[in-house]
Every structure is written in C-alpha cells, then in structure tokens.
Structure 1
Amino acid sequence: MTGTRPRFFQSVAFIVANILAWPILIVIPMSFSASSSLSFPPKALSLKYYVEFFTSPDWNIPLFNSLLVAVLTVAFTLMLAMPAAFALARSQFAGKAWFRLLMIAPLLVPHIVLAFAYFIYFAYFGLIQSYTGVVIAHTCLNIPAAVLVLSAGIQSLDPNLERASLSLGAGRRATFWHVIVPALMPSIMVAGFYAFIHSFDEAVIAVFISGRDKATLPRQLFNSFMMDMDPVIAAASGALVFFLVAFVLVAFVIRLLWASSRTYSRKAGA
C-alpha cells in the first residue's frame, strides 16, 4: 500500500507538469515556423520571423520598453518595500494587523479592476501613455509581495549581528549597508526577481496605461493578436519565453555565485 502512494503522487505530478508545460511546448515550435499562417505542428522551420521580431521597430521598441519598465519597477519596488518591511517586522504599532492585510489585499484583486482604477486615477494627473504611469502601476502591483518576502527575511535575521556592529562603533548607516543588506541579500534577490518577471510579462495594466509609443511587449502581443494573426506573434511569444527562462537561469547562477562567495568569506574569516 505504501509503495503505491509514491507512484500515484509521481504520476499526478507528471500529469500536472505536462499540463503546465503544454502551452510552452506548442509556442516554441510554432515560433520557428516558416509558414505565413499560424499552424501546429509547423511544416517547415525557419528563423525569418525571429529576424523580423528583432529588426522591426514594431517589436524591438516594445521589447526595449518592457526591459526599461521592468528595471525601473525593480528599483522603485525595493526602495519602497524595504522600509515598509522593516516597519512590519520590527515595529509594534496600532493597526499592524490591518497594515499586513492591506499589503495582501492588492494580491487578491483582479488585475482588470486595478487597471481600471489606475486608468481613472492616472488620467487625472496626465500619466496615461507614459513610462511614468506604467512604472508607478507596476511598482504598486509588486510592492505587496516584496514587503512580505523582505519582512520574512528581516524576521529571520539574528539581532545580535546588528547589536555587535553598533557596539563596535559602526553607525546605523554602515550597519545597514555592510551587515543587514548582505544578510538580507537572498530575500532582496527573490523580491527583485519576482518584481522583474511580474513587470516584464504583465499585460492587463499595460493595455490600459501604456500608449502606442510606450507599448510594452505583452501589450504589443495583445494588440497584434486582436488585429491580425501575424506569424511574428509566435516568434514574439517564443522570444518572451526565452527571455524569461534566460533571466531565471541568470538569477539562479547569480544566487549560486553569491552564496559561494559568502561561504568562502566565512571560511577565510574563520
């Protein structure tokens, strides 16, 4: 009886993994199709639509916009989430439970509702069809998750490290940058990577706020899909998948290198 349970769970995990991977397994072969119409499986393979994707301003400008918005979103998300995370983890104040609930609430609201609210609010300040509006919206969207991740990391820190640094004469600023930030780096990486990926592939809010000149890659994909079934759409979708996979791999390598450098520093210090 006990021997059949692992096999059952393995079978369920295999089925779920295939269901989740199936859209990607369809998009990737179609992105290399040489046909002028979208069809699966492709009858012939070619890179011509990838060449068009990277050389056409209709696609490489939205790609640049997505990268720019994602990088700015990560920067502002971490700057704003860090003090909020410290307040949530270290401070005791009236309404702390409500503050934590307020942090979680945006994660439960559908993006279409948030997009409509942002559109009404940003239109009043003239932020529609601008990088500023998209970055602010994406930052607001990612701050709750970043605060929760960072506050969990702060709660796991050894308070004796901070006390020891202060007792040795280091100021609070030096303690923050040379003790707290390195110790929090795993949580900072997780929050930053999540914010980058979430901003880079977000489409609903971008459709409402970004204009034609400031369109991100997901919005351009949505617009092209609604207007015509251009084969470049498949190449753009494939490129989006490759970018995200490459980013995750790079993030994983950076995490390993950082962890190994910390281990080496500890051994050298010992």
Structure 2
Amino acid sequence: MTAQPAAQPRTRPVAERQARPPRFAFSWSRVLLAVLCGLVLLFLIAPVVIVIPMSFSAAKYLSFPPPGFSLQWYENFFNRSDWTSAMIQSIRVAFTVMILATVLGIMASLALVRGNFPGKDLINAVIVSPLIVPTIIVAIAIYGIYARLHLVQTFFGLVLAHTVLALPYVIVNVTATLRGFDIRLEQAAQNLGANPLQTFRYVTLPLIAPGIFAGAVFAFIASFDELIVALFIAGAQGRTLPMRMFEGLRLEIDPTIASVSSMLITFSVLVLLSAELVRRRGRTEA
C-alpha cells in the first residue's frame, strides 16, 4: 500500500490576489487631514450660517442669535429707494457686462484656440492677468487712464472696467470647451456645403453652449459683486449694491445688510447650480 502525497495548501492565483482592493490602513495623518479640511469648510460656511438667521432678526441691530424673527429688514430693503436704486444699477451694469464679455470672450477664445500667430501666449497671459493681479492695482491703473479720458463716474466707464475683470472668466470656460471639441464635426459640415458662418451657428455654437453659459454666469456674478473698482470709478450717482452695502457697514449697522447678503447668497447659489446643471447636460449630450 503506497503512501498518498500530502495535500498541498490551496493558494489563490497571483493575479487574483493583486486584484483585491487594499484594506484601509488607519493613519493619523489622514485623520488630521480630514479634521483640518472639516475645520476649513466650517470656517467658510459659518458666515453663511450666521448671516441668514440674522436677516430675519426682530432686533434693531445686528445680533446673533436673534431674539426673535421678523421680515421687517427685507421690507426695509424694498421700501428704501437708496437700496433698490443701487440694486437696479448693479443689475444694469452686470447684464451689460455679461453680454459684452461673452461676445468678446467667444471671439478671443476662438482666436486663441484655433489661431496660429506670434505672441499668442503673451496675449492670453495679458487677458487672463486680472485673475492674478490684485484688484486694487487694477483699480488704480484703470482710474489713472479714466481720469485722462474723462470716463470716471460714467456708466460706460464702469461697464468697460468690469468687462476687463469679467472677460477672463468667459475665456477660461469657452477655451476649455473648445479644446475638448471634435473639430471633425466642423469639417464634416463644411464638406456637406456649409459655409463658415453656418458651421459656427449650427455645429460649433450648440456644442460649446454650456461653456458659454457658464462663462456668462461667472461674468455676471463677477460684475455684480465687484466693489473695489466701483469705488474708484462709479461715483455717488452710479452707486452699485456692493458700494451701498459698504457704506451701510460704515455708517449704519442694521440687519438690512444681513437681508441683502442673504438674498445675494441665495441668488449666487441658484445661478451656480443652474450653470452646473447646464454643464452636466452638455457633457451628457456630447
């Protein structure tokens, strides 16, 4: 009777063992990083959490927590002409800037992405520089030029200055969309007889529409919320809503400031959510 060989232990193939996801290794560095990220997010969100309840305060001054709740400060905002006129002025300026920056941004993006000319990188850096250069420096430079051209305290001057600040947002968004664009679709349309204008209108424009919409939204918000350049350029007659809020913080500290801030926060969140939904829808259709 012969002896049977000992049973060999069953081992999993090497590929199967390597395919297993690694187990989560506890690390104090990861815990510390998560805590720090949470504290930073809390620091950023805390003003929003505080200012919204303060806008419904029944007190005659800014206090947290509010002693009671009331809509009197929202009513005060809409009943005072200095607040409503500043809001209308901001909307006028921001809407004009949005249209102007969007049109110029589309043309500039097409030139920077499709064009091949000397100095393209330098021109791109100059156009996008307002995102990097401190706003106070831009405001001083614009004021120095406007003082010679007599554009200070004019609606056109404020729109032109805000367009310079808003244009990089449009260029960044439209350029990103154009770089991910399949140029063979344009070539196919031209092979079927479409001229360049028809190709842009029926092929290019619908496909880059999400980037255009996102850039236009950011341009509107950049102009609507801008304060420093407006302080140098607008003057008392063209006072915008951020300027009126700045004056309110200096001269009269009441919960009307909190109500305006709450409305601006809500408006900005809704607009950004709309832009994100349009961007995702465009990515899905693409």
Aligned with residue 109 of structure 1, among 128, 133, 139? 133
| Alignment partner of 1:12 is 2:55 | no
Alignment match, 1:135: 159
- Residues 90 and 155 in structure 1, CA contact (< 8 A), matched pair in contact too: no
The answer to whether residue 48 in structure 2 is matched with residue 24 in structure 1 is yes
User: Could you tell me the TM-score, scaled by structure 2's length?
Assistant: 0.84
Amino acid paired to 1:121: I
- Report the more deviating stretch, 116-125 or 18-27: 116-125
Letter in 2 for 1:110: P
Distance 1:242 1:212 in 2: 27
Residue 65 of structure 1 corresponds to 89
Q: Deviations over 1:1-43 (max 9, x none)?
A: 6244665544333222111101111211111111111122211
**Is 1:42 matched up with 2:70?**
no
1:191 equivalent in alignment to 2:191: no
Q: What number of residue pairs does the alignment pair up? A: 262
Shift of 1:98: 1.5
| Equivalent residue letter for 2:84 | N
Is 1:2 the counterpart of 2:28? The answer is no
- Looking at structure 2, the residues matched to 67 and 83 of structure 1 have their Cα atoms a distance apart, in angstroms, of 24
Residue 226 of structure 2 corresponds to residue 202 of structure 1: yes
Give the match's secondary structure for 1:157.
Answer: coil
Of the structure 1 ranges 15-24 and 94-103, higher mean CA displacement relative to structure 2 is found in: 94-103
The 3-state SS of whatever aligns with 2:67 is coil
What amino acid maps onto 2:187 in structure 1?
R
1:243 corresponds to 2:271 = no
Considering only aligned residues, what root-mean-square deviation do their CA atoms show, in Å?
A: 2.1
Alpha-carbon distance change, 150 to 129 in structure 1, aligned in 2, over 3 angstroms: same
Counterpart Cα distance in 2 of 1:86 and 1:24 = 39
Shift of the 29–247 alpha-carbon distance from structure 1 to 2, 3 Å rule, reads same
Aligned amino acid, residue 202 of structure 1: E
1:242 Cα deviation from its structure 2 partner: 1.9
CA distance in 1, matches of 2:122, 2:153: 34
CA distance in 2, matches of 1:11, 1:106: 34
Structure 1 residue runs without a partner (length 5+): none
Deviates more, 1:124-133 or 1:192-201: 124-133
What amino acid does structure 1 have at the position aligned with 2:105?
Answer: A
Higher helix share: 1
Tell me how far 1:194 sits from its aligned partner: 1.1
The verdict on how the C-alpha distance between 1:241 and 1:9 changes in structure 2, with shifts beyond 3 A counting, is: same
Distance 2:95 2:168 in 1: 18
